[in-house]
Structure 1
Amino acid sequence: MTKRVLHVVSNVASYADRSEPTGLWLSELTHAWRVFAGKGYDQRLVSPKGGVSPLEPRSLKWPLADTSVKEWLTDKDRQALLATTARPDQLDSAEFDAIYFTGGHAVMWDFPDDADLQRITRDIYERGGIVSSVCHGYCGLLNTKLSDGTLLVAQRRLTGYSWVEEVLAGVAKKVPYNAEKEMKRRGAHYEKALLPFVSKVVTDGRLVTGQNPQSAKATAEAVASLL
């Protein structure tokens, strides 16, 4: 049977200061999409509210905008996918073999406390599926609990955008919390690369996480190898 992957994207378009835009870091979607498409997987986009997923402007500029990003920006069908994402309550979690949380600072606001996304994540994981994230996408795993009431991330090895990367990116004072610190508070065994902004992927059983935008392709490849 064809494997199915659910990509989670944000609906948030700005930081707390609405004059400062943010959104989906597009390459974190496009790199993974290309890997999964190459395997022949079916793919679907979901966001907390459904509808439009805004794009982080910085992710669209050279040299960050590689060929996969440009393909999405110039393809009307793919632009339509980003404009018409599903709501979680419109989906049947049983149809998916893996869930992949994309990043961009936007997700820090709308991923952590979305009960429907937590339900889908729990269902996929407890059915033997794969839970994955890249960069800030791990904010979507902060508060997800399993059926026994324990946190999915507790005592698990994982990675995600580090605090030093927030500082170096110049946005540490704009984000609502320190995601790395919050993960550690929940009992996760957080890991990061020796150098910032280099690819790092951590696989702990059926939990696959990538540290930053540079890790998206490798994260998807790790998910595909498990599938």
Structure 2
Amino acid sequence: MKKVLFVLPSHDQLGNSGHKTGYWLEEFASPYYEFTDNEYEVTIASPNGGKPPVDPKSLQPENQTEYTKRLQNDKDAKEKLENTKLLSDIYSGDYDTLFLPGGHGPMWDLSEDKDLKKIVEDFYNDDKVISAVCHGPAGLLQAKDKNGNSILKNKRVTGFTNDEEETVKLEKTVPFSLEDRLKEVGSNFEKSENFKPFVVSDGRIITGQNPASAFLAAKKVIEILR
């Protein structure tokens, strides 16, 4: 049985806006079921362990999908989400692939977490598949290859775009522009229409632009690992 490590944020404050954030439910739910339905064993970790914060907006009725509804009645999945492992306790050698869902939370903590930096670098150096969706690629920004270059240098990647950030009116709230930062580390950033499914695969790095891309990103991981 192949093993996938999901990493979710522990950060729950949307800057100084007074609003809450976290991970986006659909970006966890649809990949989770794509992996488990294909008989992958899923482990979930976060910087602080325990229950990671979910973005309250992702719980609103208009943002529910067949996968988020399935999650509500899944005792095993909910128990895993209540009791995520500490990132500092994770040994990357135990897993076949890494998946970073988005939501705005990762922009604050996963973009700076040193344990995640090491995990990503270990996966990369072991030639394992790394995938990240929406704001999840923030968790890849620190990682370097053995020559000290960004693991994203000269790689085709995508992520939540400046246009999408402006559309949700959070471009002044986020700590940095994800699109700009991905370009700064030397990646070849690509994008499609706002909020439409778009996945980019370059070698063993797979990225998705937005929530609508999460399921397709997981599907691509499974294709590659087959």
Normalised by the length of structure 2, the TM-score is 0.96
Per-residue deviation at 1:78? 2.3
Partner Cα separation in structure 2 for residue 14 and residue 82 of structure 1: 19
Which residue does the alignment assign to 1:207? Answer: 205
Partner Cα separation in structure 2 for residue 26 and residue 81 of structure 1: 14
Partner Cα separation in structure 1 for residue 89 and residue 71 of structure 2: 24
1:36-55 → structure 2 map (5 Å cutoff): 36-55=35-54
Per-residue deviation at 1:80? 2.2
Which residue does the alignment assign to 1:61? Answer: 60
Which residue does the alignment assign to 2:120? Answer: 121
Partner Cα separation in structure 2 for residue 93 and residue 178 of structure 1: 29
Q: Give the 3-state SS of the residue equivalent to 2:4 in structure 1.
A: strand
Q: Give the 3-state SS of the residue equivalent to 1:51 in structure 2.
A: coil
Deviation per CA, 1:74-110: give whole Å up to 9, x if none: 4343222222111122121101111011110111000
Normalised by the length of structure 1, the TM-score is 0.95
Query: 89-98 or 64-73: which moved more?
Result: 64-73
Q: Which amino acid aligns with 1:218?
A: L
Identity, in percent, stands at: 35
Q: Give the 3-state SS of the residue equivalent to 2:120 in structure 1.
A: helix
Which residue does the alignment assign to 1:32? Answer: 31
Per-residue deviation at 1:149? 1.4
Q: Which amino acid aligns with 2:113?
A: D
Q: Which amino acid aligns with 2:210?
A: N
Q: Give the 3-state SS of the residue equivalent to 2:108 in structure 1.
A: helix
Partner Cα separation in structure 2 for residue 84 and residue 188 of structure 1: 35
Note if 1:132 corresponds to 2:160.
Answer: no
1:166-177 → structure 2 map (5 Å cutoff): 166-177=165-176
Which residue does the alignment assign to 2:9? Answer: 10
Contact map agreement 2:5 2:43 (CA 8 A) in 1: yes
Q: Which amino acid aligns with 1:137?
A: G
Deviation per CA, 1:6-58: give whole Å up to 9, x if none: 00101111212262011110110111011111210111101112112111111
Q: Give the 3-state SS of the residue equivalent to 1:63 in structure 2.
A: helix
Partner Cα separation in structure 2 for residue 113 and residue 151 of structure 1: 14
Which residue does the alignment assign to 1:198? Answer: 196
Which residue does the alignment assign to 2:162? Answer: 163
Contact map agreement 2:103 2:134 (CA 8 A) in 1: yes
Which residue does the alignment assign to 1:88? Answer: 87
Query: 79-88 or 217-226: which moved more?
Result: 79-88
Which residue does the alignment assign to 1:224? Answer: 222
* Unaligned segments of structure 1, at least 5 residues: none
Note if 1:183 corresponds to 2:182.
Answer: yes
Q: Give the 3-state SS of the residue equivalent to 1:80 in structure 2.
A: helix
Query: 182-191 or 122-131: which moved more?
Result: 122-131
Alignment: residue pair count: 225
Partner Cα separation in structure 1 for residue 56 and residue 222 of structure 2: 29
Contact map agreement 2:124 2:151 (CA 8 A) in 1: no
Partner Cα separation in structure 2 for residue 73 and residue 175 of structure 1: 29
Q: Please identify runs of 4+ aligned residues in structure 1 that moved more than 6 A.
A: none
Q: Which amino acid aligns with 1:90?
A: D
Deviation per CA, 1:50-78: give whole Å up to 9, x if none: 11211111111223111211222343432
Q: Which amino acid aligns with 2:94?
A: E
